[in-house]
């Protein structure tokens, strides 16, 4: 009996059994009602079995069990050029975004999308995964490298060095690989240009070994060892030419290239003739790091069953290879690409889509907390960054120094080429530095590539760095700032007398951009610093009138479309025994610790007195309002606190930029000490320190 018949027969038996059971129960009830009793009667005769049911229809085949992942697919057809789709592992569309670019895609370490455009530009789309379905490129949120100085002609594939913060672009039209810093914008000159022997289509970078692989449209792969360390080597170290076992070249026109560091293998896609929709191929090359010359491929896939015609790009996730197959309008997935026979292999999944041009896995964000939100006790540090801002321009004007965590050694410095105020860092190690200009009354933010790690003795340069400034920014006298990396937000304390506010900008914008949102205060109070806590979506603002403004749901309101929060949700006034701190009180530095729910503040008192500075610790402040008693105060001549203009908490210790006394200090175990007139646990002389920021050791991984 087949399965369908068995199910039908069982159902019939179930019905008959329960019919008989019901009859017996009814009889028992009737007997009980009449008060009679008797022996059970004989069982009745079994009913006649029903006829077999019909066979059920076969189920549809399920999708292959690909690991859960999200990818970005660039489109380049007449109806969809300039758009990208977010797709899942089975190529189901999640949402679409209009980038106005149409070529290669890659991601930086902050989750920002980099995309090439055949109109000779590279666009950075900020925090793509967080953007709404149907959203578009906008200069207030995103940025672009474009112009005659860039030398870009027709860029295609892109690779990113996460550690050095560099982007490598295969420029098909210029026949070169062009290198920029990842935070560059506008008409920037490249850091380097590497001429190739044939037009390149794609690149991939082996970060661990500083090795660049370049797919050339003559069928070769150019390999550059020590590419960054050798300052973008002019000549390849060797060339790989895919061949058969007889040593005959089989590659024609390589487009896609992926290096797998786990297996030391290269996967290549070859489009063959661009006018032939049937002659595409995939190749696997073993021992890629040392391969040279004519190399017999470990596996090749080609033929009518493969659907490979113009496989313009590929993306490797584990051993699953996804192929943007342009001529046949499909995304193809080949599982276990490194194993199996060569030949005419059918894809494991075929999904129709219009003219896919490039594909990449969605970039993952760094899982560490923002640098200003350290939640780890005894956090290992690379060092401490301190900005210098003397009242009269001098040798240190514009300088950001990196000091050891013990404050006894300078380990590097960078000059932002502006009269800088405060410096903060994102999770990639890029610096964001506020500046003002007394002559023009226009301030701004300098965004500099990898200052936390590698910029020693260098100055601001447009081939790596960018700047936010202009009348639309509203920045006149910006002071402290904070960066929320995962949200793509820069929060800036604008201190000017007429329009004091917290201005929120995109971390990816550049030039004369308008704020995405502003936070303003009751009674026109003026801010000096801001600390945004991503865990609670709350901003704490240090005000020069001696209070702290608290704004709730900052990001949530921004994402909901708000452009202004007109007044703070709460106002905290530091107090002693229920009485507000006596004037003069002038809060400058602010740092909130969400783990302990503590607020650490620095009070400069009078800006003209060099010995009345204080450090406060306030507890249980998340929802506090009004007078909040100070649990710990550090003040007095031994502290050297006069104008403590900035502070940063490490999760254990507190670093202080003490400007009037030209010293940087560290107070250990700040949340557990009793305070009083105590000396710092470590200190060093420093010219007019304006701000301080810790540099976690994980930045260098």
pLDDT value of position 364: 79
Share above pLDDT 90 across residues of the chain, in percent, rounded to a whole number: 87
Q: Above 70 in pLDDT, residue 24?
A: no
pLDDT value of position 65: 76
pLDDT value of position 635: 98
Q: Above 50 in pLDDT, residue 18?
A: no
CB neighbourhood size of 73 (10 A) = 25
Average pLDDT (672-677) is 96
pLDDT value of position 191: 97
| Confidence tier at 517 by pLDDT (50, 70, 90) | very high
CB neighbourhood size of 376 (10 A) = 14
Q: Above 60 in pLDDT, residue 481?
A: yes
Q: Above 90 in pLDDT, residue 59?
A: no
**Contact criterion met (CB below 8 Å) for 470 and 538:** no
Average pLDDT (431-453) is 95
CA atoms of 525 and 497, how far apart (whole Å): 9
Q: Which pLDDT tens digit goes with each residue over 359-368?
A: 999 997 788 9
Average pLDDT of the chain is: 92
pLDDT value of position 262: 97
pTM of the model: 0.89
| Confidence tier at 56 by pLDDT (50, 70, 90) | low
Of the candidates 536, 477, 529, 483, the residue with the CA atom closest to the CA atom of residue 506: 483
SS3 label, residue 269 = strand
Q: Which pLDDT tens digit goes with each residue over 230-247?
A: 999 899 999 999 999 999
Q: Above 90 in pLDDT, residue 52?
A: no
**Contact criterion met (CB below 8 Å) for 223 and 239:** yes
Q: Which residues contact 322 (CB under 8 A, 6 or more apart)?
A: 71, 91, 314, 315, 316, 331, 332, 333, 359
Q: What is the DSSP letter of 162?
A: T
Of the candidates 556, 554, 516, 700, the residue with the CA atom closest to the CA atom of residue 109: 700
**Contact criterion met (CB below 8 Å) for 202 and 280:** no
DSSP string, 170-236: EETTTTEEEEEETT--BSPPPSEEEE-SS-EEEEEEETTTTEEEEEETTS-EEEEETTTTTTS-SS-
Pair of tokens at residue 48: 């006649």
Q: Above 50 in pLDDT, residue 440?
A: yes
Q: Above 60 in pLDDT, residue 22?
A: no
Q: Above 90 in pLDDT, residue 167?
A: yes
Q: Above 90 in pLDDT, residue 12?
A: no
Average pLDDT (98-113) is 96
Which backbone phi and psi does 222 adopt, to 5 degrees?
-90, 135
Output 36 or 572, whichever has higher pLDDT.
Answer: 572
Q: Which pLDDT tens digit goes with each residue over 313-360?
A: 999 999 999 999 999 999 999 999 999 999 999 999 999 999 999 999
| Confidence tier at 32 by pLDDT (50, 70, 90) | very low
Q: What is the DSSP letter of 512?
A: S
CA atoms of 552 and 537, how far apart (whole Å): 6
Q: Above 90 in pLDDT, residue 98?
A: yes
| Burial call 102-117: b when 16+ CB within 10 Å, e when fewer | bbbbbbbbbbbbbbbb
Give the strand order in the sheet containing 431-435: 420-425, 431-435, 444-448, 466-469
Output 645 or 524, whichever has higher pLDDT.
Answer: 645
pLDDT value of position 216: 98
pLDDT value of position 33: 35
pLDDT value of position 141: 97
Which backbone phi and psi does 556 adopt, to 5 degrees?
-60, -40
| Confidence tier at 44 by pLDDT (50, 70, 90) | low
Q: Above 50 in pLDDT, residue 27?
A: no
Q: Which residues contact 631 (CB under 8 A, 6 or more apart)?
A: 617, 618, 619
Average pLDDT (189-212) is 98
Q: Above 50 in pLDDT, residue 274?
A: yes
pLDDT value of position 367: 87
Average pLDDT (279-291) is 98
Average pLDDT (454-459) is 95
pLDDT value of position 524: 86
Q: Which residues contact 58 (CB under 8 A, 6 or more apart)?
A: none
**Contact criterion met (CB below 8 Å) for 479 and 503:** no
Output 574 or 438, whichever has higher pLDDT.
Answer: 574
């Amino acid at each position: 009996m087949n399965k369908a018949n068995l199910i039908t027969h069982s159902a019939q038996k179930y019905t008959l059994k329960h019919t008989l059971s019901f009859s017996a129960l009814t009889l028992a009830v009737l007997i009980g009602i009449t008060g009679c009793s008797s022996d059970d009667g004989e069982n009745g005769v079994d009913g006649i079995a029903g006829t077999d049911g019909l066979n059920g229809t076969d189920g549809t085949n399920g999708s292959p069990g690909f690991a859960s992942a999200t990818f970005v697919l660039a489109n380049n057809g007449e109806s969809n050029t300039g758009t990208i789709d977010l797709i899942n592992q089975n190529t189901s569309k999640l949402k679409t975004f209009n980038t106005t670019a149409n070529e290669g895609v890659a991601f930086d370490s902050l989750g920002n999308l980099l995309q090439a455009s055949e109109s000779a530009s590279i666009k950075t789309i900020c925090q793509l995964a967080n953007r709404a379905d149907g959203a578009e490129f906008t200069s207030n949120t995103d940025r672009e490298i474009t112009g005659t100085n860039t030398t870009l002609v027709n860029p295609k594939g892109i690779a990113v060095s996460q550690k050095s913060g560099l982007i490598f672009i295969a420029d098909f039209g210029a026949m070169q690989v062009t290198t920029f810093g990842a935070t560059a914008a506008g008409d920037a000159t490249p850091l380097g240009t590497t001429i190739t022997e044939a037009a390149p289509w794609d690149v991939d970078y082996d970060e661990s070994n500083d090795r660049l692989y370049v797919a050339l449209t003559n069928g070769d792969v150019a390999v550059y060892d020590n590419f960054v360390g050798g300052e973008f080597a002019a000549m390849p170290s060797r060339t790989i030419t895919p061949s058969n076992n007889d040593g005959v070249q089989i590659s024609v026109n390589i487009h896609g290239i992926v290096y797998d560091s786990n297996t030391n293998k290269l996967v290549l896609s070859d489009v063959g003739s661009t006018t032939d929709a049937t002659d595409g191929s995939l190749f696997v090359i073993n021992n890629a790091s040392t391969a040279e010359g004519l190399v017999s491929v470990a596996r090749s896939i080609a033929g009518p069953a493969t659907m490979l015609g113009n496989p313009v790009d590929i993306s490797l996730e584990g051993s699953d290879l996804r192929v943007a197959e342009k001529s046949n309008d499909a995304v193809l997935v080949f599982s276990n690409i490194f194993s199996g026979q060569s030949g005419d292999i059918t894809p494991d999944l075929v999904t129709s889509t219009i003219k896919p041009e490039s594909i990449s896995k969605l970039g993952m964000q760094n899982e560490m907390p923002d640098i200003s939100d350290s939640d780890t006790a005894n956090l290992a540090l690379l060092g401490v960054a301190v900005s210098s801002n003397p009242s009269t321009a001098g040798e240190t004007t514009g300088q950001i120094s990196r000091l050891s965590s013990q404050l006894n050694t300078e380990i590097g410095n960078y000059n932002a080429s502006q009269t800088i105020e405060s410096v903060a860092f994102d999770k990639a190690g890029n610096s964001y530095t506020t500046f003002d200009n007394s002559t023009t009354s226009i301030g701004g933010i300098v965004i500099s590539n990898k200052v936390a790690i590698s910029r020693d003795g260098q100055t601001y340069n447009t081939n790596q760095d960018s700047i936010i400034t202009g009348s639309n920014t509203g920045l006149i006298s910006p002071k402290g700032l904070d960066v929320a990396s995962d949200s793509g937000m820069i929060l800036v304390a604008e201190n000017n007398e007429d329009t004091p506010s917290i201005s929120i900008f995109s971390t990816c914008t550049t030039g004369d951009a308008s704020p995405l949102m502003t936070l303003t205060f009751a009674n026109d109070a003026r801010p000096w610093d801001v600390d945004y806590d991503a865990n609670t979506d709350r901003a704490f603002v240090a005000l020069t009138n001696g209070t702290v403004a608290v704004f709730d749901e900052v990001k949530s309101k921004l994402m909901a479309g708000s452009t202004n929060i007109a007044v703070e949700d709460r106002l905290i006034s530091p107090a002693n025994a229920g009485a507000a701190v006596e004037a003069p009180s002038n809060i400058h530095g602010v740092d909130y610790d969400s783990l302990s729910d503590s607020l650490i503040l620095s009070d400069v008192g009078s800006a003209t007195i060099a010995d009345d500075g204080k450090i406060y610790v306030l507890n249980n402040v998340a929802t506090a309002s009004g007078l909040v008693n100070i649990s710990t105060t550090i003040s007095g001549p031994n502290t050297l606190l006069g104008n403590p203009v900035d502070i940063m908490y490490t999760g254990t210790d507190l670093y202080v930029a003490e400007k009037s006394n030209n010293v940087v200090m560290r107070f250990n175990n700040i949340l557990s000490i009793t305070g009083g007139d105590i000396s710092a646990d470590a200190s060093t002389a420093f010219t007019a320190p304006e701000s301080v920021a810790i540099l976690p050791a994980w930045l260098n991984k």
